[in-house]
Amino acid sequence: MKRYEQYADEIAELIRTQVLRAGDRLPSVRQASGSRHISPSTVFEAYYLLEARGLIQARPRSGYYVNALRAAGGVEPATAPPAGESTPVAISELVFEVLGSTRQADVVPLGSAFPSPRLFPLDKLARCLSPAMRRLEPQRIVEELTSGSERLRRQLGLRYVSAGLGLDTREIVITNGAMEALNLCLQAVTRPGDVVAVESPTFYAALQALERLQLRAVEVATHPRHGVELASLAQVLSQHPVKACWFMPNFQNPLGSLMPEENKRALVELLARHEVPLIEDDVYAELYFGLRRPLPCKSFDRQGLVMHCSSFSKNLAPGYRVGWTAAGRFAERVQRLKLMTTLGNAVAPQEALCDYLQQGGYDRHLRQLRQALADSQARALRGIAKHFPAGTRVTRPEGGYFLWVQLPQGVDALTLHRLALSQNISLAPGHLFSADRRFANCVRLNYGQGGDERFDDALRTLGQLACAQLAA
């Protein structure tokens, strides 16, 4: 890490721990340079970086101030305690009903699970496809069918190193997006009737996967900012024969929560003591607004129990369907399941991604993408603060593209969903995110498709609909 990054990091930490608060003025460049024994240009670069991340802002002829929107804002939701029982899952029908209705092209897609495709370097990627495939030795099509391109797995291995962990690339299996990786991992370590621990609220695709494999869900209390609560997990592990956990430690869907590093380490140690595998869904990690990629739980794993799953779908190449898992001691089992169910992955998208990654535009693209999402989050938070009913609570995630909005009691999210849809706005009602449909007054809003006036208007309409429901 360079000196200016280090200094920026220190200030970010002061903001995170609220030593520096909204509206506080940062030391002037001269002050900082003098007191820290660093050059003025280092201070400038650090402030510039913090500003790009949306943590501070410059006021003309006055200096740098801690950004009001990020540190202040409204009240965040609290942890919602789950029931504590394990339950069979029957959520799919509702998920299909709700999502199916939100796919029309003219709907403002606040309920979508995807960021806008306009945010990605699709043309640059497309240009890689033909040359990459024309260079490919035909024999490799069959040889690399099931585990995926060796070249790509080596590049993923390099990115793992820079994310703080080294692993044998033979542990990696390329999959049809992270969705296939997660499903294969879940199937590799469970049998029908088994209990699986999930977050609360939970990403609905995890619930659907449990339902499809006839597994039982037990929900673990999850803090909207810090993620899985370890005391709750310890209790669940002592009371239920948990066969696996499916968690999203970095920017959880729908909460956006980010587990602190010390919690990740403790989580891995706790699960190692119980010999319980962790399926780590890490698809949002690259969409951080902080200073660096948050570590995966996998980087604390010494037992091969963490099955790390990720993809390029949310941060680079939607529609390329290139995901993967580094499945630890279960790698061979996952590979065999892959062979039996989808045989292998399309070759061209993998080879094109290899070429793109080697050309070196990925990190620049990611910086722009993070900035666009951070800006869009700020805009969404302003809209919600302005238009939503008093008593609304909303998360302020440090990455990803979802807000979790807890509306006052009296608003029913499914009703709101239907009313919104009649005005050509979609949303994801809280009902989708729990096996027992507890989050009836919550909605997940996607700001990754936003940042324009149509989006602002949609938020205003949503707010009006919610207010009208409360007044009725």
Residues that bind a copy of itself (CB under 8 A): 92, 96, 103, 105, 112, 114, 117-118, 120, 122-123, 125-131, 133-134, 136, 138-139, 141-143, 145, 175-177, 179-180, 183, 192, 205, 208-209, 212, 214, 318-322, 336-337, 339-349, 352
Query: Any idea how long the chain is?
Result: 472
**DSSP assigned state of 358:** H
Nearest to 86 by CA among 218, 199, 237: 218
Q: In the bound complex, what is the minimum distance in angstroms from residue 426's beta carbon to a copy of itself?
A: 12
By beta-carbon proximity to a copy of itself, the closer residue of 123 and 275 is 123
Q: Nearer to a copy of itself by C-beta: 177 or 383?
A: 177
Tell me how far, at minimum, the Cβ of 321 lies from a copy of itself, in Å. Answer: 4
The nearest distance, CB 70 to a copy of itself, in angstroms, is: 29
Q: For a copy of itself, which is the closer residue by CB, 146 or 303?
A: 146
Task: Please say which residue, 290 or 450, places its beta carbon nearer to a copy of itself.
Answer: 450
Beta strands 306-311 and 278-281 are parallel
In the bound state with a copy of itself, the residue whose beta carbon lies nearer, of 255 and 283, is 283
In the bound state with a copy of itself, the residue whose beta carbon lies nearer, of 99 and 266, is 99
What CA–CA distance (Å, rounded) separates 438 from 434? 6
Q: Rounded to the nearest 10 degrees, what angle do helices 347-359 and 150-162 cross at?
A: 40
Sequence-ordered list of residues with C-beta below 8 angstroms from that of 277, at least 6 positions apart, any chain: 185, 189, 243, 244, 245, 271, 305, 306, 307, 328, 330
**Integer Cα distance of 243 and 71 in angstroms:** 39
171-202 as b/e: b if 16+ CB within 10 A: bbbbbbbbbbbbbbbbbbbbeeebbbbbbbbb
- Residue closer to a copy of itself, measured from CB, 388 or 402: 402
- CB of residue 219 vs a copy of itself: minimum separation in angstroms? 20
The token duo for 301 is: 């794993």
Closer residue to a copy of itself (CB): 131 or 410: 131
Opening angle at CA 300, ends 297 and 301, nearest 5: 90
For residue 389, say if its preceding peptide bond is cis, omega within 30 degrees of 0. Answer: no
- Residue 177 C-beta: closest distance to a copy of itself, Å: 5
- As measured in angstroms, the least distance from the Cβ of 370 to a copy of itself is 20
Please state the closest distance from residue 205 (CB atom) to a copy of itself, in A: 7
Quote the CA–CA distance of 90 and 95 in Å, as a whole number.
10
Token pair of 456 as six digits: 């602002």
SS3 35: helix
CB nearer to a copy of itself: give 184 or 220.
184
Q: CA-to-CA distance for 181 and 325, rounded, in angstroms?
A: 6
State the minimum distance, in angstroms, from the CB of residue 146 to a copy of itself: 9
Minimal distance, residue 320 CB to a copy of itself, in Å = 6
